[in-house]
Chain A
Amino acid sequence: DAKTTQPPSMDCAEGRAANLPCNHSTISGNEYVYWYRQIHSQGPQYIIHGLKNNETNEMASLIITEDRKSSTLILPHATLRDTAVYYCIVDSGYALNFGKGTSLLVTP
């Protein structure tokens, strides 16, 4: 599976959009981009995934660049409960390879 690079930490004000970047320059054609998050001492939670088109669900939006070498997870209106570690994972259908993720802190 391709490796991903994410900033170690980010801050976001409550109510503002949180934009979390991810680089996956070695992604191959059949690999999906998945985003999960983990709130402290809980199991990871699925957020969204995509192949090449932008995706949106009730939790977030996923923007994938045309060359698929990077993507951005957007939480449109961050709340305090969105404080968590966010993992960007490139998956080819096997087990997930969790990197270090981005620790997002949403502040009042």
Chain B
Amino acid sequence: GAVVSQHPSRVICKSGTSVKIECRSLDFQATTMFWYRQFPKKSLMLMATSNEGSKATYEQGVEKDKFLINHASLTLSTLTVTSAHPEDSSFYICSATLDRGGEQYFGPGTRLTVT
């Protein structure tokens, strides 16, 4: 199946700093990428939908100025957590899809810890 990678897999940062997470589709071009967040023992929550070359669509309650999403190419989307705080500590997961309605391929996730 298609492969999606994320980098880094784990990151620890200090409160107030910014962290960038990359999501890459390795063997296919993804028209759409999604960003999810998962707190411990909770389900995945969609944060935003990202289409190449256009602005991301954020879910209600997700601050677009705090979680900056850039989808510069069909194989790369980045999520930047700006001015991170301890409550932003979470497991961030991206997924990519070839076309609308198709199956989604998930990355392995990035565990962010803000101290």
Q: Judge whether B103 is part of the interface by a CB distance below 8 angstroms.
A: yes
Of A43, A94, A98, A99, the most chain B CB neighbours within 10 A belong to A43
A42→B101 contact, CB < 8 A: no
Which of B45, B46, B93 is A44 in contact with, Cβ under 8 Å? B93
* Residues of chain A contacted by B111 (CB below 8 angstroms): 41
B105→A32 contact, CB < 8 A: no
Give A45 to B4 CA distance when docked, in angstroms.
11
A44→B103 contact, CB < 8 A: no
How large, as a class, is the contact surface on chain B?
A: 20 to 34
A43→B100 contact, CB < 8 A: no
CB distance from B63 to the nearest CB of A (A): 18
* Residues of chain B contacted by A36 (CB below 8 angstroms): 106
A residues 53-82 touching B (CB-CB < 8 Å): none
CB distance from B4 to the nearest CB of A (A): 8
How large, as a class, is the contact surface on chain A?
A: 20 to 34
* Residues of chain A contacted by B45 (CB below 8 angstroms): 98
Q: Which residue of B lies closest to A30 (CB)?
A: B101
Say whether, besides A46-B1, A93-B100, A95-B34, A101 and B107 are in contact (CB < 8 Å). Answer: no
User: B interface vs A, CB < 8 Å?
Assistant: 1, 4, 6, 34, 36, 43-46, 49, 91, 93, 95, 100-101, 103-109, 111
Q: Name 19 interchain pairs, CB-CB below 8 A, sorted by A.
A: A36-B106, A41-B111, A43-B95, A44-B44, A44-B93, A45-B106, A46-B105, A93-B101, A94-B100, A95-B34, A96-B44, A96-B95, A96-B104, A97-B46, A98-B43, A98-B44, A98-B45, A99-B43, A101-B43
User: A interface vs B, CB < 8 Å?
Assistant: 32, 34, 36, 38, 41-46, 49, 87, 91-101
